[in-house]
Chain A
Amino acid sequence: MEWEAVIGLEIHAQLATTTKIFSGASTAFGAEANTQACAVDLALPGTLPVFNTKALEMAVMFGTAIDAEINKTSVFDRKNYFYPDSPKGYQTSQLFYPIVGTGSLEIELSDGNSKLIGVTRAHLEEDAGKSLHEKFPSMTGIDLNRAGTPLLEIVSDPDMSSAEEAVAYAKKIHSIVTSIGICDGNMAEGSFRVDCNVSVRHKGEQKLGNRTETKNINSFRFIEKAIKGEIIRQIEILEDGGSIPQETRLYDAEKDQTRTMRSKEEANDYRYFPCPDLLPIVIEDDYIDAIRSKLPELPDAKRQRFSEQYNLAAKDAAVISGNRAQADYFEIVATSTKDAKLAANWLLGEMAKTLNQNDLQIDQSPVDAQALAALLLRIKDNSISVNAARQVFEAMWNGEGSADQIISDKGLKQVTDTGAIEKIVREVIANSDKQVQQYIAAEPDKRGKMLGYFMGQIMKASKGKANPGQVQGLLKPILDSLCN
């Protein structure tokens, strides 16, 4: 019997507000422990919440971006549970009346097909603090700086059936929230976290199997691995005649496996009820319309525009438009160089590779868009070879100066003087007697492949400065002339 997986995601996007959802403390990442936790965040007796206007605006932006229903009345509820990083003993969330109702979005799959994924709801809530378990031998340290950071929890319908679909959906949400500027999308810092609900059932079966929830996954790669692993684990258990307990699990990236989360072992009874310290949020059509009209270009529209305006390959257009900072970067380079193809190649090639190696985001790159454009212009005007450009890029990355400065400091300017190049070509041919004889002896249609050796020698002799196109133009006629 064939199995199929049923997957739904709950995505927690930290909203990019300056202050907390219910207090005037800063949400900036990385501050010293508890220095951004005010009396309200610490749930001091007598403190009360007041709702941040920006958090509301951002939630509505998301709703309009996915064309979802916006609930004109939404209500904060209390989700009661005890945990030391939840200072009030409850989390303020929205269960009964969320701000964003049903919507949907389309994901593109690698086979070229697309699929519509339903969004059940998106609701506002507050983030918890952080528990540091490793810092002290027998104690856990609690840092409440993050407590009260606004979150938009985006809940999907269980519409996905593979890790690939889940990742495509998560990436789509990521690109939307970053494009409209409501979340910085920084997964390493926890700004965008994904809970994966996974169950399996026999194909054709209507009833859903028991699901597990794997919490707080903070990279797309881990989502893929966690889901794949979880599907296999569940199928193995079921095929062995076992059953899947409904439980919360954690993904351990080092072991590449999920495990039961001990602190959530018991079934919880959250005793939700409307928060009496907060009143219903009521918004008008005008408010929603104003937000809709100010919405920045969405990833789908941007992708469309990129492939039309810049003539990018569909895949490149999708990748570049998927991240707002990257899209903005690209547009600057493409416009400045008037060569979108070159800009895309570098952005997705050298730049992506280097960012990856250094674990950085595009907006943290030491080489900004103007600087990269300046470099690419030197390729275009044949001042440097592509290989030399890579060297220059590396030097720019290391802060050694502008493209022109480095080209001149390192003497990387290409030789384009035909006479000089021809001289080197002839020297190399003269010193490669054996290879020249082999070239002459070879069938004419095999000779093309043999040019590589000479090219290599010539580039070496020119210290990489000879323009490869020019070398190629000179080399073959000279060699062919020897064959007659």
Chain B
Amino acid sequence: MALDRQDVEKIAHLARINIDKKDINEYLGNLTSILDLVDQMQRVDTQNVEPLSHPLDAIQRLRADDITESNQREQLQQVAPAVEEGLFLVPKVID
């Protein structure tokens, strides 16, 4: 599956990563060689093979519905880039 520059731009947008125009070709080259590498998989017949998401055959454990976390706003917001009146600030969003 050959990629082109537009694909790279589209993927970068989905991933919300800015890529300078001058770097697109390099990423295109990298991604192409990685995809060539992974294309080996297509040669394997995996019909009827159940995908494996978790290495252990375990099931989800359940947590009791009890409050264990108290207000830690002050501490948690110390590492925030921009906070006012307890709210995290981001550039204005229009719905």
Contact = CB atoms under 8 A, between A and B. Distances in A.
On whether A and B touch (CB less than 8 Å), the answer reads yes
Interface of A: 17-19, 23-26, 32-40, 42, 44, 50-56, 76, 82, 84, 131-133, 135-136, 138-144, 250, 261-263, 269, 271, 274, 276, 278-282
Contacts of A132: 87
Interface in B48-89: 53-54, 58-69, 71-73, 76-77, 82, 84-89
B41 interface: no
Specify which of A25, A139, A278 lies most central, judged by the most chain B CB atoms within 10 Å of its CB: A139
Nearest to A73: B59
B79 to A, nearest CB: 9
A162 to B, nearest CB: 28
B53 A274 contact: yes
Interface bracket on B: 20 to 34
B60 A51 contact: yes
B14 interface: yes
A282 B60 contact: yes
B53 A33 contact: no
Contacts, number: 126
B90 interface: yes
A279 B69 contact: no
Contact of B69 (A25, A142, A263, A269): A25
A263 B89 CA distance: 17
Contacts of B22: none
A52 B65 contact: yes
Given A53-B65, A82-B16, A263-B94, 11 more contacts: A25-B69, A33-B86, A34-B86, A34-B87, A35-B86, A50-B61, A52-B65, A84-B88, A131-B95, A142-B87, A261-B95
Contacts of A33: 85-87
Given A24-B66, A25-B67, A139 B90 contact: yes
A281 B61 CA distance: 8
Contacts of A139: 82, 84, 89-92
A281 B94 CA distance: 37
Contacts of A17: 65
